A and B are shown apart, each in its own frame.
Chain A
Amino acid sequence: MILTVGGLSFQYKSREIFNDVTFELGRNEVLAIMGPNGVGKTTLLRCLNLILKPTGGTIMVEEQNIMHLAKRDVAKRLGYVPQKQESGRMTAFDAILLGRRPHITWDISEKDLKIVHGVIKRLNLEHLSLQYIDQMSGGELQKVSIARALVQEPDLLLLDEPTSSLDLKNQLEILSEIRNITRFHSVSVIMTMHDLNLALRFLNKFIFLKSGMIYSAGTCKDVTPEMIHDVYGVQTAIREMYGYPVVIPLTG
């Protein structure tokens, strides 16, 4: 197991967001965290990354409790792409290079530059590499942020709605790229997601959050219309079309 989360809970001041969240994730797996708006998906990712300090529970990455690690060492193991990106007058290359920060002691080395260059090529960002990120579209910026998390060379990648501002082609491209990367680079991914169809198509495992608890979890083949109804309150049917499972809303 690359990640073992036990009894994790968190509250903002006095308001409890989630309680006793427990799950495991194996190497090379891609996990979707799903649930309605405001249920606490982003908060959960921030806790896994220790940006927010959990009020209880343990987070083990490869048998090591990361709560006792220095912040820099946590950053070497977990990469994170937030839901909202901020941009400044910085080129894409520099923005991605920032991902090497946990590995830099005094200055960047040739190795850092080569890694950044490799990721840029891999994500087809070469034509943008010297463009300022404040002149980029939302989707381009999203790709740059994913690239930044990849150059951290983490064991575990946390992505908060990575496809939300991408067009159809880029959604498919990024998700299949992420799937390839997990296959060939021994990294696991946790992402939050609203699009059930994409989740069923690209991801191995899922967790549905409902009112501060894990409502159900399993492999994506196990998702049923009943679960979707209980979590989102929407009647749906799941059908297979051209070999892919498709969720069809029946109400509205």
Chain B
Amino acid sequence: MHFDNEELPAAYLQYTRTKIIILCIGVIILFFLLILSISSGAVSIPPIEVFQTLIGESVSLKWNKIILSIRLPQALTAIVAGAGLGCAGLAMQSILRNPLASPFTFGIAHAAAFGAAFSIIILGSGVMQNSSINPYVIDNPFATTFVAFISCLLATAVILLISHLKRATPEVTVLAGVAIGSLCTAATMFLQLFADDTQLAAVVFWTFGDVSRADWGELAIMAVVTVLSLVYFYYHRWDYNAIDAGDETASSLGVHVARIRIVGMIVVSVITAVIMSFLGIIGFVGLISPHIIRRIVGDDHRFTIPGTIIMGAILLLASDTVGRVIIVPHVVPVSVVTSFLGAPMFLYLLVRGYNR
């Protein structure tokens, strides 16, 4: 068959160009936000100085230490975690065909936190410190993350079973997610019975996820895992688009629907496990970033994947910055800020009827 009429669709090209421009604007916003975030906090640093330090041309070195060893890793952690969680949410929403899906709403985040707590308290893969900035040090990040990952996989398996074997409605799957989340939270609390005072403080602290906990080494692990996962998702963007058009259509277009689902959920579990075991539970970024970006660029995963990466990063970085400046000198953990943002949005989606 041959339908090529040697003519490019001008209107469509214009339409995709607009979306690319929107994404570029997002990147620029993210960059300015990064400068702003690094410059603000208990000590404010002039944005110009931040910029000069970042490009390695600073004249005065007095901010170097604050910028390079505290603020920059924290900001980059927010960016990586936001991008990873956002994309995990987007992938779940597409794979499960459920607009309410995200690692947090389906309890996978709680499962990760439980796994990490279990590894640290029972298996002793970390040591708790009595310090409010960094209440624990993970001796063995691989063991901790691995246990968190196994725990995530169990939660994921339950969700896949419920949403597909039983052909449950989106609401039923969400309720199942809530149940899994509560169960994992209860199990984490149960572990507290075996914890000493400092461990107890740490576990409680854990339920408020925070991006200031990661150092450069942990950031590197998170970044590698997240980047690999994002590449995986982007590589399969056409498959997600096809699944949006219906399982049958996707299958007739050569997509291994069941395989894409299962592998996709495993990748979601990996991202969630790594991020949650280093940072604690951070909610709602994975739910709301995809929804905001769909409003702006539509449902096409060629654009929603990069868009969600940018949006998730912006949301988490902005939340972290707000949390640091809102009641100086106290720091509000980023998870508290995201919940203030995300919970109303979630309720809105539920009430409005979430027709994607």
B190 within 8 A of A: no
Asked if A89 contacts B299 (CB within 8 A), the reply is yes
Complex CA gap A152/B249 in Å reads 12
B1 interface contact, C-beta 8 A? yes
- Of all chain A residues, which has the CB nearest B246? A86
- Taking a contact as CB atoms under 8 Å apart, the answer to whether B12 and A99 are in contact is no
Selected from B3, B15, B242, the residue in CB contact (under 8 A) with A150 is B3
Residue on B nearest A46 in the bound complex, by CB: B248
A79 to B251, CA, bound (A): 11
Which candidate, B49-57, B157-165, B252-260, is the interface stretch facing chain A?
Answer: B252-260
Binds B, one of A16-24, A70-78, A194-202, A217-225: A70-78
Chain A residues 121-137 with CB under 8 Å of chain B are 121-122, 129-130, 132, 134
From 71 to 127 in chain A, residues with beta carbon under 8 angstroms from any chain B beta carbon are 71-76, 78-80, 82, 84-86, 88-91, 93-95, 98-99, 101-102, 104, 110-111, 113-122
For residue A163, give the distance in angstroms from its CB to the closest CB of chain B. 19
Q: How far is the CB of B66 from chain A (nearest CB, A)?
A: 42
> Which one of B5, B9, B355 lies within 8 Å of A129 (CB-CB)?
B9
Do residues B15 and A98 form an inter-chain contact, with CB atoms below 8 A? no
**Any A CB within 8 A of the CB of B215:** no
A82 touches B248 (CB 8 A): yes
Q: Which residues of A contact B356 (CB under 8 A)?
A: 88-89
Most chain A C-beta atoms within 10 Å of own C-beta, residue among B245, B294, B356: B245
- Which residues between 199 and 220 of chain A lie within 8 Å of chain B, taking CB atoms? none
Expressed in whole angstroms, the Cα–Cα distance for A131 and B81 within the complex equals 35
Report if B46 contacts A (CB, 8 A): no
A73 to B8: give the CA distance in the assembly, Å: 27
B238 at the A interface (CB under 8 A):
yes
Q: In the complex, how many angstroms separate the beta carbon of B99 from the nearest chain A beta carbon?
A: 11
- Give the number of chain B interface residues (Cβ < 8 Å): 34
B254 touching A113, Cβ below 8 Å: no
Given A86-B246, A150-B1, answer yes or no on A93-B12 (Cβ-Cβ < 8 Å): yes
CB-based contact A91/B15 at 8 Å: yes
- Of listed A114, A122, A181, A185, residue having the most chain B CB within 10 A: A114
What per-residue 1/0 map shows which CB atoms of A182-196 lie under 8 Å from chain B? 000111000000000
Q: Knowing A49-B252, A82-B248, A111-B4 are in contact, say whether A116-B298 is a contact too (CB < 8 A).
A: no
Report B-chain residues with C-beta under 8 Å of the C-beta of A130: 11-12, 15
**A154 interface hit (Cβ, 8 Å):** yes
Contact B254 A185 (CB under 8 A): no
Decide: A93 and B1 in contact? CB cutoff 8 A. no
A247 at the interface (CB under 8 A from B): no
Identify the interface centre among B11, B15, B242, B252: most chain A CB within 10 Å of its CB: B252
Instruction: For the complex, give the distance between the alpha carbons of A236 and B219 in Å.
Output: 76
Other-chain contact of A78, B3, B9, B252, B300 (Cβ < 8 Å): B252
Judged by a CB distance under 8 angstroms, whether A151 is at the interface is yes
Q: Could you say which residues of chain B place their CB within 8 Å of the CB of A73?
A: 254
Question: Which residues of the partner chain B approach A75 to less than 8 Å between Cβ atoms?
Answer: 252-254
List, sorted by A's number, 27 A–B pairs whose CB atoms are closer than 8 Å: A71-B256, A74-B254, A76-B254, A78-B252, A80-B249, A86-B245, A89-B294, A90-B245, A94-B241, A98-B238, A101-B255, A113-B8, A113-B12, A114-B6, A115-B4, A117-B8, A117-B9, A118-B4, A118-B7, A119-B3, A122-B3, A129-B9, A129-B11, A130-B12, A151-B3, A152-B253, A153-B3
Given contacts A71-B254, A73-B254, A150-B1, list 12 more A-B pairs with CB under 8 A: A46-B248, A71-B251, A71-B255, A72-B254, A94-B300, A110-B8, A113-B12, A114-B7, A120-B9, A148-B245, A152-B253, A153-B3
Which of A's residues lie within 8 Å of B, judged by CB? 46, 49, 51, 70-76, 78-80, 82, 84-86, 88-91, 93-95, 98-99, 101-102, 104, 110-111, 113-122, 129-130, 132, 134, 145, 148, 150-154, 181, 185-187
**Interface of B toward A, CB cutoff 8 Å:** 1-9, 11-13, 15, 238-239, 241-242, 244-246, 248-249, 251-256, 294, 298-300, 355-356
Q: Which 10 pairs, one residue from A and one from B, show the smallest C-beta to C-beta distance?
A: A75-B254, A80-B252, A118-B3, A86-B246, A72-B254, A118-B5, A117-B9, A89-B299, A185-B1, A153-B1
